[in-house]
Structure 1
């Protein structure tokens, strides 16, 4: 079996922590990574504080194969992600000539002010993440992928960088509706999990159409045979509770 590839996400921005902006990137990245065989292990959210960004970035990049950051690469004074990443890697940062050239094609000399030029500052040695439709690029340095906070731009950047990432065996999953309360299946589900250590089994309570408590059971594994065995055990357990699986 191929190695397991792991990742963390670092969301940067005071506006996320204040609630002014509702994050729309974590779920997208999580699903994207799952689909390409990368396990998301951790998400952190930090303010626009250089020391906090560096500390979180160092913790994540030394723990996981990849770190995806979102936010803080725009034109304003609090967009300090690029500078923080450069300091974390101990490299310099300067205006990237290729990016500056693109900006000059877009803006007049008068409009290409200091604020807009901030978006052209890239840490030394980083690879650009850009396309014809992305004006201000993201970048990749080491195992860190730095992307925009704007969801549509971030999603375009993910499409660009994803083919270059290593990946492992995809996590497979199957789900079944228990038609039982979570507390009814908790005990036997624990025993099934112990008997099938190469699977991950989760229970997710919800209210059904009749506003009654119900539970979805999800089994995950990279091995299809082990997934099937564990799911069969779950269904047998539910049958013993005299419930219908659907």
Structure 2
């Protein structure tokens, strides 16, 4: 991985493709994993979109996202069935042709016998012109990269393998650091003093997350920054505020 220098963040978007996600038939398991892995290497996932298996929708979303972010990752729609149209849509977005790629075909033959490589399965070897392949260590059918767009499978196990193959090639930034303070207070009771702390630390992301425990409503306060000193300072301010709040409530 190449560590990016300077203050310019490395940003990413994720485009989830598939009618089955929008209908609720399939529950997405990739967004959280991708977000977590990108955070670990200092890439900010700024936007996630879900689009249907409609070529124009995929093209429009992809062109919008790739113009705004350092990287765009897509999941879904590169299988053997008639509605797996992601590769064609990506080719259209980039204005290039698409055909069976000899490299991708050879990869499929590492997993399938020649006699089993029917027309449907051969669709998985169709790659836009000029794209680089993304290795798939699980089922061999590759993803691909073109421009700043990384096209990966939707099946979580395969997507995970493709993502791990991609990560070493990415530019990365300083990892985002976080600390969590348990408030032992309701979110509404600490909202005003927490807002004051946020004004004192404009360079630190501060969020409150309510939950229920054995005593009733409670809140976790999470502070996030790439600076360890700033994270620690904001955490200490929050901890002090929560302590004063708890004393005042007794």
Which residue of structure 1 aligns with residue 72 of structure 2?
67
Does residue 1:144 correspond to 2:135, yes or no? Answer: no
Q: Distance in 2 between matches of 1:217 and 1:80?
A: 43
Q: 1:107-147 CA distances to partner (integer Å, 9 max, x unpaired)?
A: 34442111000000001111101144441000111111100
> What is the aligned-residue RMSD (CA, Å)?
1.4
- Who is 2:165 aligned against? 160
Q: Is the 8 A contact 1:2 1:169 kept in 2?
A: no
Structure 2 matches for 1:39-118, cutoff 5 A?
Answer: 39-118=44-123
Any conservation in 2 of the 1:48–1:79 contact (CA below 8 Å)?
yes
SS of corresponding position for 1:45: strand
Q: CA deviation at 1:224?
A: 1.0
- Structure 1 pair 239/106, CA: closer, same or farther in 2 (3 Å)? closer
- In structure 1, how many angstroms separate the alpha carbons of the residues matched to 2:190 and 2:27? 34
Q: Which of these residues, 35, 38, 42, is aligned with residue 43 of structure 2?
A: 38
**Which residue number corresponds to residue 244 of structure 2?**
240
Q: How far did residue 229 of structure 1 move?
A: 1.2
Q: In structure 2, do the counterparts of structure 1 residues 186 and 121 end up closer, same or farther at CA, with 3 Å as the change threshold?
A: same
1:39 is paired with a residue whose SS is strand
- The residue that corresponds to 1:184 in the other structure is 189
Contact 2:134 2:165 in 1 (8 A): yes
Unaligned 5+ runs, structure 2 = 1-5
**Runs in 1 of length 4+ with deviation above 4 angstroms?**
none
- TM-score of the pair, normalised by structure 2: 0.94
- How far 1:2 sits from its partner (Å)? 4.3
Match for residue 25 of structure 2 among 20, 29, 43: 20
Deviation at residue 47 of structure 1 after TM alignment: 0.3
Q: Report if the CA contact (8 A) 1:7-1:38 is conserved.
A: yes
The corresponding residue for 1:227 is 231
CA contact (8 A) 1:180 1:243 kept: no
In structure 2, the CA distance between the partners of 1:132 and 1:102, relative to structure 1 (3 Å rule), is same
Q: Any stretches of 5+ residues in structure 1 without a counterpart?
A: none
Aligned length in residues = 243
Contact 2:107–2:142 under 8 Å retained in 1? no
